[in-house]
Amino acid sequence: MAGQFEAIPGGGAAVALDEVEIAILRSLAVQLLELVGPGDQPVEGQDPLAELFAEGPSEPPADPVLARLFPDAYGGPEAKPDDEEARAFSSEFRRYTENDLRARKRDDALAVIRSLDALTVAGNGGAVLKLGPEESHRWLGALNDLRLAIGTRLEVADEEDGDELYRLPDSDPRKPMVMAYLWLGGLQESLVETLTP
């Protein structure tokens, strides 16, 4: 089970993690949480229905990682810069969806942190993380977001870029981030397999 999620009865998943892996996963989830932002707290006495329909931002984020986590809904990367109609549609879509998407990404990252914090590390320095079906989906979302964030920082745009990462010399300062990116990919892939009937 080391390093790979395995299916457990009831539709969940389990993985054996050592103390270093737990610390790395927790640190990355905290960083993701900080990147996504705390979100707006509801104002005391405010109508909860009004909060539900609160408008979000209409412009894409300037940070490339946030732009990857919250992409434009229309046009895509191949859109022409002067396509005003696509920009207008994307702006409108973003205004009504980004707050909810940010909240989901925060909830996913928090689920990772909370489940790691609840682990009891054994005398051998490891623990087995067991996730129920809902928690497994939250972990899958967080692992995906972490890989997107790290991949964006590493400027991974396609599979060929990912292949080049394997050939980086150990002296390359990006090597630790590359190792985390590849490790998270393995975790994500094995978790997907446990959730696929």
Q: What is the residue extent of each domain of the chain?
A: 6-195
For the chain, list residues with pLDDT below 50: 1
Which H/E stretch holds residue 78? none
Question: What's the Cα-to-Cα distance from 154 to each of 13, 15, 53, 98, rounded to whole Å?
Answer: 29, 27, 36, 24
Residue 53: predicted pLDDT: 58
Cα separation, 102 vs 95, in Å, equals 12
Question: What's the Cα-to-Cα distance from 16 to each of 21, 24, 109, rounded to whole Å?
Answer: 9, 14, 19
Residue 54: predicted pLDDT: 62
Residue 1: predicted pLDDT: 40
Torsion of CA 30, 34, 35, 40, to 10 degrees: 130
Q: Which tokens in the block code for residue 159? A: 């599979």
Residue 57: predicted pLDDT: 72
Residue 95: predicted pLDDT: 82
- Decide: 60 and 97 in contact? Cβ < 8 Å: no
pTM for this prediction = 0.84
Residue 120: predicted pLDDT: 86
